[in-house]
Amino acid sequence: MDDLRYTTTEEDAGLYVKEVLQRRLRISSRLMRKLKFSGGVALNGEPTPIKVRVKAGDLITVSYPEEQSYFEPYEYELDVPFEDPDLLVVNKPAGMVVHPTKGCLDRTLANALVYRMEQSGEVYKPRFVNRLDRDTSGLVIVGKNSHCQDFLMHEMDAGRVEKLYLAIASGSFGGVTAGTIDLPIAKDPDHTARRAVLADGFPSVTHFEVLGEANGYSLLRLRLETGRTHQIRVHMSYTGHTLLGDDLYGGKSPLMGRQALHAYSLSFTHPVSGEKIYVRATLPEDMLSAARALDLEDFYEDQILRSRDRSDRLVPSYNDGEA
Domain limits, the chain: 4-62, 79-154, 161-306
- Give the pLDDT confidence score for residue 170 in this predicted structure: 97
- Gap between the Cα atoms of 262 and 133, Å rounded: 10
Q: Quick one: how far is CA 172 from the chain centroid?
A: 29
Q: Which DSSP letter does residue 129 get?
A: S
- Give the pLDDT confidence score for residue 269 in this predicted structure: 95
- Fold for domain 161-306? Pseudouridine synthase (3.30.2350)
Amino acid at 243: L
Instruction: Say yes or no: do domains 79-154 and 161-306 share a fold.
Output: yes
Q: Print pLDDT tens along the chain (323 aa).
A: 578 889 999 999 999 999 999 888 888 888 888 888 778 899 999 999 989 999 999 999 998 877 778 889 999 999 999 999 999 999 999 999 998 877 777 899 999 999 999 999 888 889 999 999 999 999 999 999 989 999 999 999 888 999 999 999 999 999 999 999 999 999 999 999 999 999 999 999 999 999 999 999 999 999 999 889 999 999 999 999 999 999 999 999 999 999 999 999 999 999 988 899 999 998 999 999 999 999 999 988 877 666 544 433 333 322 333 33
- Gap between the Cα atoms of 287 and 61, Å rounded: 46
Nearest to 167 by CA among 44, 51, 256: 256
Q: Which DSSP letter does residue 111 get?
A: H
Nearest to 282 by CA among 85, 79, 111, 114: 79
Percent of the chain residues topping a pLDDT of 70: 93
Q: Which DSSP letter does residue 309 get?
A: S
- Fold for domain 4-62? 3.10.290
Amino acid at 66: E
- Gap between the Cα atoms of 224 and 231, Å rounded: 8
Indicate the CATH number of 79-154 among 3.40.50.150, 3.30.2350.10, 3.30.1330.40, 3.40.50.10470: 3.30.2350.10
- Give the pLDDT confidence score for residue 309 in this predicted structure: 46
- Give the pLDDT confidence score for residue 67 in this predicted structure: 77
- Give the pLDDT confidence score for residue 305 in this predicted structure: 60
The catalytic site residues sit at 133
Amino acid at 147: H
91 - beta bridge partners?
A: 79, 139
